[in-house]
Amino acid sequence: MAIKGIVGWGSDIAFWLHIWVGDEPHAKTFPTLYALELQNGGSVLDRRMTGANSTSWRWCWKQPISSAAEVTNLASRMLLLLFLS
């Protein structure tokens, strides 16, 4: 899985709507999670939290992730993002 283009800080890249990792936007790859997201237009920079030696990702869900499909989607997406951290 490759990063598309130059992400940089990610301020100009919409996390859900732009193709920045993989072959399609996260909104299309993970529609169940996209539907649960409160901030659909947020940038990669809005989502990424970088510490001294680590990176983590910030989420803002409408409700808790609970169904099997939601959990599977979240796990799949986290695996994609793990390789970027």
pLDDT in tens, 23-73: 889 899 888 889 889 988 889 888 888 878 877 778 888 988 888 877 777
- Angle (CA) 8 11 17, round 5°: 105
pTM above 0.75, yes or no: no
Please write down the HEC assignment for all residues of the chain: CCECCCCCCCCCCECCCCCCECCCCHHHHCHHHHHHECCCCCEHHHHEEECCCCEEECCCECCCCCCHHHHHHHHHHHHHHHCCC
C-alpha to C-alpha distance for 49 and 56, rounded to whole angstroms = 5
What pLDDT does 28 receive? 92
pLDDT at position 2 over 60: no
Q: Where are the domains of the chain?
A: 1-85
Query: Quick one: which of 69, 45, 39 has its CA closest to 57?
Result: 45
In the chain the first and final C-alpha atoms are separated, in Å, by: 13
